[in-house]
Amino acid sequence: MTMLARTYRARRFEDAIAQVRRDLGPDAVIFSSQRCPLPDAPHEEEVEVRALPATLARRGEDTSLEGGDELSRKLAKMGVPASAALLLSRALAERSGEGLASLRRARAQLKSVLEREMLFGSLASAHRGPRVVVMVGPTGAGKTTTLAKLAARSALLERRRTLLVSLDNYRIGGAEQLERYADLIGVPMEMLAEDRKLDSVLRRHPGAEVIYVDTEGRSPRDQDALHAMAERIHGAGEAVEVHLCVPVGLAESEVQSLIERHLVLRPSKLIATKLDEAVYHGSIVAAQIFAGLPYSYFTLGQRVPEDIEYATAERLAALLCGEELSA
């Protein structure tokens, strides 16, 4: 697997991913990412991404799904794309030194492989100033609830000066839901009119340390609306973290379409939502393959702020091995 991989380097993660997509196509399998010091400037860093062409990743795919590789077949049944299932199965075999037919028996090894092959956590940012976190995603992805969970943690547990902002001028009751959360958490909230950009909010709240921005859910097919949203988010030139909420349980083709149509919003991280509502969780792997972005959080239910956790290989390995989420 690693012998066939190609390595790409750039100052920003997004630029490295753009190189991968340009050279290998949108279906390339991205299986590792790390920060490395620059050879001529050891105090500065660049991002190194390793990716595999989809055509190479799919070699032997049909055999694995017909029973030639029992483990890859089981992973594919969980919703993991067939090419990625084969890669994970091979990596497990390399690590264990033998075939592993049982996912439950392979859980510890699967965790280690996922830690190596997938991207979890935030890439460091050199930006100084208030942290601006924007939630985007399709209608029903759980953006507002996810944002409320993070805001509650920030304000109540971390004691940081927190501000909520709604860009939702489209959905009936969208802003009202966020306003209720703001009242419960005890933080201010702003409605941003369609002709205003984020910098106007930052000027009115110079003491805010963390600003969480909710957006309206639009159909991924409504590209005009998504382009307009991108202008509102990025047009002021402020540094923002855009987290794309992807509900778990979608078919592979649905995940790919969702990712591709939301790339105009320039997401930098993924959040897998509604893990508690999904029977199979392989689409978590699929979303990262198509987006090439690290996971920041998993959401596990409706409770605020309890039902959210940092995304980890340990949780994903447990889900792929069939472990039920505890209530």
Helix (H, G, I), strand (E, B) or coil at 8: strand
Give the separation between CA 38 and CA 47, rounded to whole angstroms: 9
pLDDT tens-digit series, residues 4-37: 567 888 877 777 878 888 888 776 766 666 667 7
pLDDT tens-digit series, residues 44-61: 777 777 777 765 544 444
Residue 173's pLDDT band, with cuts at 50, 70 and 90, is low
Evaluate if residue 185 carries a pLDDT over 60.
Answer: yes
Task: Please report the pLDDT score of residue 155 as a whole number.
Answer: 92
Which of 100-104, 143-147, 171-175: highest mean pLDDT? 143-147
Please give the average per-residue pLDDT across 221-245, as a whole number.
Answer: 80
Q: What angle do CA 122, 36, 292 make, to 5 degrees?
A: 45
Task: Please report the pLDDT score of residue 100 as a whole number.
Answer: 52
Calculate what percentage of the chain has a pLDDT beyond 90: 20
Cα Dmax for the chain: 62
Give the separation between CA 141 and CA 130, rounded to whole angstroms: 26
Give the separation between CA 316 and CA 122, rounded to whole angstroms: 17
Task: Please report the pLDDT score of residue 8 as a whole number.
Answer: 85
Give the separation between CA 272 and CA 269, rounded to whole angstroms: 10
Range of weakest confidence among 71-75, 79-83, 95-99? 95-99
SS (H, E, C) 184-242: HHCCCEEECCCCCCHHHHHHHCCCCCEEEEECCCCCCCCHHHHHHHHHHHHCCCCCCEE
Evaluate if residue 283 carries a pLDDT over 50.
Answer: yes
Task: Please report the pLDDT score of residue 213 as a whole number.
Answer: 92
Task: Please report the pLDDT score of residue 312 as a whole number.
Answer: 92
Range of weakest confidence among 106-120, 121-135, 155-169, 192-206? 121-135
Top-confidence residue, 295 or 1: 295
pTM score: 0.76
Q: What is the phi/psi pair of residue 43, to 5°?
A: -90, -5
Evaluate if residue 147 carries a pLDDT over 70.
Answer: yes
